[in-house]
Every structure is written in C-alpha cells, then in structure tokens.
Structure 1
Amino acid sequence: MGSSPKLSLQPIIWLNVISLILLHLVGVYGILFLVTSTHWKTYIWGYTIGTLSGIGITGGAHRLWSHKAYKAKTPLKIILLIFYSMAGQNTIYDWVRDHRVHHKYTETDADPHNSKRGFFFAHVGWLMQRKHPEVLSKGALIDMSDITNDPILEFHRKYFTILKILFCFIIPVAVPCIFWKEKLSCSIITMGFVRYMLGLNFTWLVNSAAHIWGNKPYDKKINPSENKSVAILSLGEGWHNYHHVFPWDYKAAELGDYTFNITTAFIDFFAKIGWAYDLKTPSPELIKKITLNHGDGTHPKYHQDSDHHEEVPCPNEEENLKQD
C-alpha cells in the first residue's frame, strides 16, 4: 500500500472548496474589522461556546465514542451530544468511523488525513476532495455496532441537520442579540463565522501540526508528536505521540495538567459525581517501560537511565483498538 498518492487522483469537491474559502474569508474579515465594534460580552460568549463545542469533540466524539476510553451515563451523553452539535462537524457516526480508520491505518492511503501528503492535506485538503479508495474500503470494515446500537447516537444521527443548525448557528448567533443587544450582522459574523472557523482549525491542527511537529518521547518511529501549542488550542489533544501509543487512555496524555488538558478536567469532574466511570489509563510502570524502549529520549523523567530497562514491545494500533 503506497503512502504518498498524487492529490490529483481524487476528484475535487467544489462545494466544499467554495464553502471553506468563503468561511475563512468572512472569518478573517470579522477578526480584522469587527474587533472594536463587538460587545465584550460577545467575546466571552464566543469563548464559552468554543470551549463547550471543543469538549463535545474531545470528550465526546473522540475519547468517549471513538476510543471508549471511559463510560458515560445518559445525562452526560446528552450534554456531550449538545456540545458536539455546537461544533458543527459531521455526524458522530462519520467522525468515529474516520477516526478509527485513522488510528488503525495511520499515515497510509487508508488514513483519511494522511500527514505524509503534507500539512495542507492533513489540515483541510482532505475535506476538499473525495476520499481515497483505501479509506472507503478500510472504513467499511470498521466495527461501528457500538455506535449504531446506541439509541442516543441514533437520535443524533436522525436529527443531525436540525441539531447542527440549532446549536451551532441559531442559538450562538441569537443569544448576543437577545440578551445584550448585539447587532445581528456583527453576531452573525463573529459567532457564525469567526467562532466556527477557529473551532474547525483548532480541531484540524491535531491532524496536521501534531502529526508533523514536536517530540516523540513514547514512540520515535511514528509521526504523531507531542505539541504543547496544539494541546492548548485543542483542550488537551496535542499530546499526540502518547495518544497514538495509548489511545484508550481517557486523558489522551500522560504529562500536562488541567491547564493543558481541559477535557480531562471535565471528565474528572463528572467522574466525581458518577456520570463518568470506568476511566481507562495505563499504569505508570507500563508507560515507563514503553518510553525507555521506544521513545526518542526527550521524556523529562525517563531519559537518563535509558540503557537500563526491560525490553517491552510497543503496543500497535490494532492492539490498542481492542482495549475496550
């Protein structure tokens, strides 16, 4: 299986290209020209919606439904689905399937956003063209029964468009206009374009920047890297070298406190009240052994005695996907 196909082999989805270009043009306009005319409460509202929608992706679509790194009771599932709907991305089913394929076939033709095809492709280019045939064929083999058998997720899938429009656009735009008399045009641009554009790009950075730049303390042979900047922008998803070695860890990281992993703080809070449970995480002993055997020596705790360790095989993606 080749890993660097020509981009021209896949048909361009022009509707996506045009939509993404317009989104970014209006978004950049909003950042450059509406800074002084936007009410300060709208900034706070935008940050709040952006954070909650991010948690819907990181804590919901990613750690809960894609990797089953923890379990959630119905109220928390509903909260996460509302947050996820605020993000305005694809259905949970599509998101989870693509992410599971990404982990199982990372950096190959079957990887939807294969970073070996360059930063732009991994960041947004993959959304501008039809999927590689390998992505489609391998994606059809992914077990999605846990998603299709969940009535809450099926409800979300059935009413996906309505929920997306309501929670991603109508409510975020309406609130500033109703409660502090923000101009409708300003609210549309800042909440409907700027906030949406930034949220998408922060998510995409995990696929692009965190697969290209950073150190690799856990497995030096893979592309995913530890990228603190991405971790901050994506609420804790930038500790990517660790995540690809231990994708079933609910923290998606070993290092970095709540400041760099807001999603973990969110899950830990709901674990305390019993709505999140069965939180999975590897033992410190296993992390140390894997790090000493396979890391690049940049781990702050385990690099000095790297000549004195027990040989332990690095878990591969297929094994990790079975950690349910």
Structure 2
Amino acid sequence: MSSTYKREIVWTNVFLLTAYHYFGLHGLYHLVTAQHYWITFLWAFLLGELSNIGTICGAHRLWSHRTYKARLPLRLFLIFCNTLSYQTSVYVWARDHRVHHKFTDTDADPYNINRGFFFAHMGWIMVRKHPDVINKGKSVDMSDLENDRMVMWQHRYFTVSATLLSFVVPTVVPWYYWGEDWYVAFCVAGMFRYVVTLHGTWLVNSVAHLWGTKPYDSTIKPTDNMFVSYVTHGEGWHNYHHTFPWDYKAAELDSYNGNSNTAFIDLMAKIGLAYDLKTASVELVKKRVQKTKSESAFVGKKKFDKGDLVFVPSSIATSEVRFR
C-alpha cells in the first residue's frame, strides 16, 4: 500500500452498518426465541432468495460480466430483485466489481484482501476509497451500462426505491396481512434478512480470497471455497471465476452442487428469457491449468450446444468469449 495514503473513516457508513447489525441481531433474537409467526420467517427467506438472485444473477453475472443476455421481462425482474437487495445500484455495484477484477489485490482494488480480512469483508465500506481505486478505476469501460436506460433509471432513484422495497414493504406486509408485530417484522424480514445477504456477498471478497484451493490459477489469491459456494448459492468457486470471469456459471462443474443461481439462469434460458450463455470449453480450462502449472484441477465433463469457444480480450471485466 502506498505510504502516503491516510485512512479516512466514513462515520455515516459506520453508523449505518452498526444500526443494521443492531436491528439484525434483534431479528435473530426474535427468531431464536420464536417470537414471530412462522410465515414471517418464510417471508424473510423469500426476500433473501430474491435479493440473492438480484445481486448474483443480475448485478454480477449479467451486468458486471455480461456472461449472458436477458430479455426485457427478465431484466425487469432482476432490476427489481437487485433493488430489493439494497447493495448499491447495479451501476455502482458493477463499476466496483469491474475495478476489482481489473486490479485484483492491489491498491486499486476496492476490497483489497492485502489490507486484511476485515477490510475485504466490510471495512472497505467504512473508509474513503484509496486514490488508486478512483484514478485507475476511470480506465474501466462503463459505457454499456451508461447507455442502459433501465440501469441508469434505477441508479438515479435507487435510495428511495431500495428503502421502500428493502425495509418498508418487508415490514408492512407481515403487519398488515397476518398481524405480525411491526417491530418484529422490521427486524426479521427487514434487517436480519438484509444483514445475512450482505455478509453472504462479503464472504466472497474475504474468505474466498484467503482460504480454499486454487485449481485453475495458482498464481492469484482468489480461491475455490465450498462453504462460500453453498452460502452464496454458487459464488464460492472464486479461483475459477477470476480465471474465467465471463462464464455464466461462475463454476466449471456441470453439476449445480449448490449453484442455484446457475440453475435459475438455465431455467430462464429454457423458457427463452435468457440467451447467449457464455462458458469455457474443457479444452480451454485444461490449457489454462497447464499454463499456470496447477496440479489439483478437476476438469468435469461438459455439454455444448454452440460449439467451441475462442478466448479474446475485452474491456468489460477482464475477458470474454466469442462463439466460432
């Protein structure tokens, strides 16, 4: 890290994160002591799953990496789910993530693991960004999202719409429809659900950059971590993802094995709402493994409908594929 950099704490964010966790712990208490209607828990679980889809299938795999294309109904659904997740707008989320991939584990990485576990997990939100994140981040192409009216509309009205969808609606619905105590609904379906989904996403930045295996590229810090994979429904194959960021599965194996986000995209493809799904061939994976001299890779069997793939550089994230 640059010796001239001085950490500057963003106290507003520290206060907000503290408040989120305070009310989230109240929600956990109400859950553990069964001081809630069982349907309130199911409601919170549903909201959590939708939030995950909005973050992973939407902000990450669709808009950050362009691993597949989505038709209007699916795009509307994903932008709704992403707003519900309240993890910043698609534009901001994708911008930070593209910078992360381009400058992984350097001062220009928004969640640089070299600054420690806590920083990579959530501390990066509590301090001003390193100047390199801002300066070098300007080299990342965001024109595709800047020309996307839906993405920019969400970005413009994100704070108001996300507050309503993530906290107001989750509280009002249980209170109005089945008589749940409003505070219990707020803490369980609002805050506890929100905090859990936040930490799920943060685990990818922290745990999956410290502990696990490196089957596909032994020269980088990101790892494959099964615990993170199951918690995030498919985002823990992080060594693979950083090696092949344009693969819509974010994992090499055909088996879903907890990767429900891939199952969702496959389902959308079957009904015609998702198309041009990008993936890496077995041959390409083998070549990359041999290039980085990794001896522990598992190369699974794949089925392809669109032929071999050609690896080419891209300004979006780090790379993409084209069909022959």
What count of residue pairs does the alignment treat as equivalent?
310
The corresponding residue for 1:271 is 269
Asked if 1:294 is matched to 2:292, the reply is: yes
Match 2:128 to one of 122, 127, 130: 130
Match 1:11 to one of 8, 13, 17: 8
Task: Show the 5 A alignment for 1:163-174.
Answer: 163-174=161-172
Letter in 1 for 2:39: K
Q: State the distance in 2 between where 1:7 and 1:26 align.
A: 38
Asked if 1:238 is matched to 2:252, the reply is: no
2:77 is paired with a residue of what secondary structure? helix
The corresponding residue for 2:78 is 80
CA contact (8 A) 1:246 1:320 kept: no
Residues 192/90 of structure 1: CA separation in 2 closer, same or farther (3 Å cut): same
Q: Percent identity, please.
A: 47
Q: How far is the alpha carbon of 1:28 from its aligned partner?
A: 1.9
Q: How far is the alpha carbon of 1:115 from its aligned partner?
A: 0.5
1:11 is paired with a residue of what secondary structure? coil
Residue by residue, what CA displacement relative to the aligned partner does 1:119-162 show, whole Å, maximum 9, x if unpaired? 00000000000000000001122111100101111221222122
Q: State the distance in 1 between where 2:254 and 2:12 align.
A: 40
Task: Show the 5 A alignment for 1:117-266.
Answer: 117-255=115-253, 257-266=255-264
Structure 2: segments with no counterpart, 5+ residues: 301-310
Residue by residue, what CA displacement relative to the aligned partner does 1:6-60 show, whole Å, maximum 9, x if unpaired? 7981210011111112211221232134421111111111111101111101001
Residues 204/316 of structure 1: CA separation in 2 closer, same or farther (3 Å cut): farther
Asked if 1:26 is matched to 2:16, the reply is: no
Residues 175/144 of structure 1: CA separation in 2 closer, same or farther (3 Å cut): same
Aligned-residue Cα RMSD (Å) equals: 2.1
Q: State the distance in 2 between where 1:39 and 1:49 align.
A: 16
Q: State the distance in 2 between where 1:128 and 1:8 align.
A: 15
Q: State the distance in 1 between where 2:234 and 2:147 align.
A: 29
Structure 1: segments with no counterpart, 5+ residues: 303-313
The corresponding residue for 1:311 is none
Residue by residue, what CA displacement relative to the aligned partner does 1:70-92 show, whole Å, maximum 9, x if unpaired? 01111111000000011111121
